[in-house]
Amino acid sequence: MATSIFVNIPVRDLAASMAYYKAIGFDHDAQFSNETGACIVFSETIYFMLLTHEKFLTFSPQPIADPRTHTQALYALSRDSREAVDAIAATALKAGGTEVREAQEHGFMYGRSIADLDGHVWEYFWMEFSPQQGA
């Protein structure tokens, strides 16, 4: 069985956040969703749990940092091409996201950084990976 990752992130408005992620192409798993959280499916092995602040605080004794003023993490998701990076960035912007910096062009890698409705930064990127780069 492949290892899966479940990342929990706090959101202020669960319904609005679910609509945002649906607008940019990700579904939710109703089996693991309720009025306090939604399981957003990014792939067969990557899931993000959008949790209301109240629910999130049942998992963490520390206060929730505001991702609009403090960096909690940067979530990087690969795409199949530069065009696919631009497409998801355009869709995310149309759905209410905010571009946090200019596109990054590095020749073998291209990326865009978009903050979601709560300010969580998503790094959508394409990279031409060769075996020599991994060595």
Q: Chain-centre distance of CA 50, in angstroms?
A: 10
Give the sheet arrangement for strand 37-41, strand by strand.
5-11, 46-52, 37-41, 27-34
pLDDT value at residue 130: 66
What is the reported pLDDT for 31? 93
Cβ proximity of 73 and 113 under 8 Å: no
Q: Which pLDDT does position 61 carry in this prediction?
A: 84
Contact 5, 105 (CB under 8 A): no
pLDDT beyond 50 at 121 = yes
- Binned at pLDDT 50, 70 and 90, residue 129 comes out as confident
46-82: pLDDT as tens digits = 999 999 999 999 998 889 999 989 988 889 999 999 9
Percent of the chain, pLDDT > 90? 83
Q: Tell me if domain 1-61 and domain 71-135 are identical in fold.
A: yes
Distance CA 25, CA 18 (A): 11
**For residues 58 and 45, what is the distance between their CA atoms, to the nearest angstrom?**
24
**71-135 has which fold?**
2,3-Dihydroxybiphenyl 1,2-Dioxygenase; domain 1 (3.10.180)
Confidence band of 43 (pLDDT split at 50, 70, 90): very high
Please provide the CATH number assigned to the domain covering 1-61: 3.10.180.10
Domain ranges of the chain: 1-61, 71-135
